[in-house]
Amino acid sequence: MNAELVKKALEKVLDPHILVNLISRRVRQLNSGGGNVSRPLIPDVGNLSVADIALREIIEGKMGWEIPEIIVLTRPTGRNRRRPQGWAKEPAKPAQEVRAKRESALSISDALAA
């Protein structure tokens, strides 16, 4: 790759990561060798490599790209969410509390019976 072409292409694209992705995708298209996609978009190719051809296409404005708008995602909150019908309104009591109530009820009934 020609460093001078890279500098000129970076002036157009501004982000080196996007430039690398554009070049690599276009190089793959040029190397595929079938249909209109694999033909260079510039008239005078000469003895340029496929990466240099891709860079010149970007510099001359033959290739376009879009950067999508960034959308900030928010997590849903638990408020105002409907619960399934089988869910209890109150949380279930621990087993220890249930046992303690049964034992106290049995001790009261034993005291009354005596």
Dump pLDDT digits (tens) for 37-89: 788 889 888 899 999 999 999 999 998 888 888 888 877 666 656 666 666 56
Domain ranges of the chain: 3-59
pTM of the predicted structure, to 2 decimals = 0.58
| SS3 state of residue 87 | coil
Q: Sort 69 into a burial class: Cβ within 10 Å, 0-12 / 13-18 / 19+.
A: exposed
Average the pLDDT over 17-27 and give the result.
94
Task: Please tell me which of 23-27, 32-36, 109-113 the model is most confident about, judged by mean pLDDT.
Answer: 23-27
% pLDDT > 90, the chain: 37
Q: What is the pLDDT of residue 58?
A: 94
Q: Compute the half-sphere exposure of residue 40: CA atoms within 13 Å on the CB side of its CA.
A: 18
Phi, psi of 17 (to 5 degrees): -65, -40
- Enter the tokens of residue 82: 């409907």
Task: Please tell me which of 1-15, 31-45, 100-114 the model is most confident about, judged by mean pLDDT.
Answer: 1-15
